[in-house]
Amino acid sequence: MMAYRQKYGVGRAIAAPQIGAFKRVVYMNTGTPITFINPVIHFPDDEMMEVLDDCMCFPGLLVKVNRHVRCVVHFKDLEWQDQTLFFEGDLSELFQHEYDHLDGILATMRAKDEKAFVIKAFGD
C-alpha cells in the first residue's frame, strides 16, 4: 500500500484479498497504522452519504456510491485482543470500502447508476 501511495499520491487502506491473501484482514494507515483481523461491521443508524469512491484496483476511476455516515467495527488486533472502533464520515466510507473487498465486492458493483462513473486524470 505504501508503494502505491508513493506512486499515485493516494492510498489509506488495503484489504488482504487485494494482494492475493484470502484472509479477512484490513490494514489502514491514516497517520497511525492499524490492522483489523476478522472485522465485523455494523451501522448504528440509517443515515447515508453519497461519495465518489476510488480504489487501488482501478486507478483513475471514481464511482458515485452511497455509504453509511457512521459505522462500528469489532475486530481482533495484532495481539489477538478484541477491539471496537467507531468511524464517521470519510473514515466510515473508507472502512466500508475495504470491508466490501473482504466479501469480493468492488465499488463498481455499488455504483448508483450507469452515470456514476468518472475518469480522473492522474495529478488532478
Look up the CATH number of the domain holding residue 50: 3.90.45.10
The answer to whether 63 and 53 have CB atoms below 8 angstroms apart is yes
Domain that holds residue 55: 2-119
* Digit-coded pLDDT (tens) for 5-50: 777 777 899 999 998 999 999 999 998 999 999 999 999 999 999 9
Active-site residue, 50 included? no
Confidence of residue 123 (pLDDT cuts 50, 70, 90): low
Q: Average pLDDT, whole number, for the chain?
A: 92
- Please state the domain count of the chain: 1
Residue 124 lies in a domain: no
Residue 6 lies in a domain: yes
Catalytic residue among 79, 88, 98, 114: 98
pLDDT at 121 over 90: no
Q: What percent of the chain has pLDDT over 70?
A: 97
**20, 54, 63, 107, 123 from 112: Cα distances, Å:** 28, 14, 8, 10, 26
Query: Strand runs (DSSP E) across the chain, as ranges?
Result: 13-15, 25-29, 33-42, 48-53, 61-68, 70-76, 82-88, 117-119
pTM tops 0.95, yes or no: no
Residue 12 lies in a domain: yes
